Amino acid sequence: MAIRIGIVGYGNLGRGVECAVRQNADMTLAAVLTRRDPKQMTILTEGVPVVRQDDWADYADAIDVMILCGGSATDLPTMTPAFAAHFNVVDSFDTHAKIPEHFAAVDAAARAGSHVALISAGWDPGLFSLNRVYASSILPEGKHYTFWGKGVSQGHSDAIRRIDGVKDARQYTIPVEAALAAARSGDNPELTTRQMHTRECFVVAEDGVDEAGRQAIEDAIVTMPNYFADYDTTVHFITEEELQRDHSGIPHGGFVIRSGKTGWEAENTAVVEYGLTLDSNPEFTAGVLAACARAVHRFAQDGSVGCKSMLDVPPAYLSPLDPQTLRARML
């Protein structure tokens, strides 16, 4: 029987999960849950119920895995433990510093409800984390480097939108080519935050903002602590039409590089690199969440309970293929 997937929260990621389920023959979409008025919402799949999130109990027996697509900042810290008490769940929680705290809360809820949860699935955290673990386990003497982009950072774009006089904005994080080359060289250089990435901002000013107002917006951006102050940041003012035409996509990507030494005297160099180039960050992330939902379903069938991250998932659990076929085709 196909794995019955529920989606909680229908934003970019929620819609991406809907697309991912369509590409996985062993999955079926059972329901979409939302905090908005379901009558005002249309989804891509015909015949699938869109229901109020508060009515989750009606679906307790109809869903094998809930994929939680709320935002990391304020939704998932409460949403994931709440749902893990009643369903097997997957989330994409990406506030790295708070993952241990989130894990503990979800683990307690999932154990109390005898369910399986998998948190922080995606690419970073997620696939990049796996590659950091693989490469640093294999090359204990070495350094790792994570580069993000070129891609849109939603958090940084939101931070710009909160500045007075800004109507809309899009922020790109861009890896510095020279830093990438240095990381790939095998020389294990020390690279500062400023050396590794630049930030490029496209800003639509409110009507009536003059030259001095634009300068004030630019100053507010480039000096903003935690977001821009530690980076070389460029700001371009553009029209609303230009923003829609040229910057409406959500591309992203990046590279995880481990540069290490092998040999008795550590005389040889080994460089491991994993890279992603994504037209759509949420659609790709959703693909990871769908594969993780399959793994969660298998853990549940095995009788596991509690919280896991992608570091705890055997690769074979992610695949629709059985272990014998995997050994024949993928090893």
Annotated binding site: 10-13, 34-36, 69-72, 92-94, 121-125, 148, 173, 199, 252, 281
Using the minimum distance from each CB to ligand NDP, give the nearer residue, 156 or 260: 156
Task: Name which of 14 and 175 has its Cβ closer to ligand NDP.
Answer: 14
Out of 18, 64, 94, 107, the only residue in the binding site for ligand NDP (CB under 6 A) is: 94
Q: Which two tokens stand for residue 193?
A: 């935050």
- Residue 95 CA to residue 73 CA, distance in Å, equals 7
Q: Is 72 in the site for ligand NDP (CB under 6 A)?
A: yes
Give me the sign of the Cα torsion angle 204, 208, 209, 212: positive
Cβ at position 173, least distance to ligand NDP in Å: 13
Closest CB 100 distance from ligand NDP, rounded Å:
16
Interaction mask 239-268, ligand NDP, x per CB under 6 A: ------------------------------
Please, what is the minimum distance in Å from the beta carbon of residue 186 to ligand NDP? 28
> Min. distance of Cβ 300 from ligand NDP in angstroms?
22
DSSP state of 223: T
> What tokens does 96 get?
């790295």
- Dmax (CA) for the chain in angstroms is 68
Supply the minimum distance, in Å, between the C-beta of residue 219 and ligand NDP. Answer: 28
Identified binder of ligand NDP from the candidate list 6, 9, 38, 175, rule CB under 6 A: 9
Rounded Cα distance between 197 and 172, Å, is: 10
Laid out side by side, the sheet with 197-205 consists of: 151-152, 166-175, 197-205, 232-237
- Cα 145 to Cα 184: distance, rounded to the nearest angstrom: 9
Task: In angstroms, give the least distance from the CB of 321 to ligand NDP.
Answer: 24
Query: Is 71 an interacting residue with respect to ligand NDP (CB under 6 A)?
Result: yes
**Binding test (CB under 6 A) with ligand NDP, winner from 34, 129, 153, 233:** 34
Residue among 122 and 306 whose Cβ is closer to ligand NDP: 122
Between helix 12-22 and helix 281-301 the angle, nearest 10°, is 60
Pick between residue 123 and residue 205 the one whose CB is nearest to ligand NDP.
Answer: 123
Which residue, 124 or 218, has its beta carbon nearer to ligand NDP?
Answer: 124
| Cβ pair 65, 89 in contact under 8 A | yes
Contacts of 323 (CB under 8 A, 6+ apart): 316
Residue type at 83 in one-letter notation:
F
Does 35 contact ligand NDP by CB under 6 A?
yes
Q: Which DSSP symbol is given to 326? A: H
CB of 97 to ligand NDP, least distance (A): 13
**Rounded to the nearest 10 degrees, how much is the dihedral formed by the CA atoms of 100, 105, 111, 116?**
-70
Taking the C-alpha atoms of residue 281 and residue 124, their distance in angstroms, rounded to an integer, is: 11
The nearer residue to ligand NDP, 26 or 158, going by C-beta atoms, is 158
**Interacting residues with ligand NDP (CB under 6 A):** 9-14, 34-36, 53, 69-72, 92, 94, 122-126, 281-282, 285
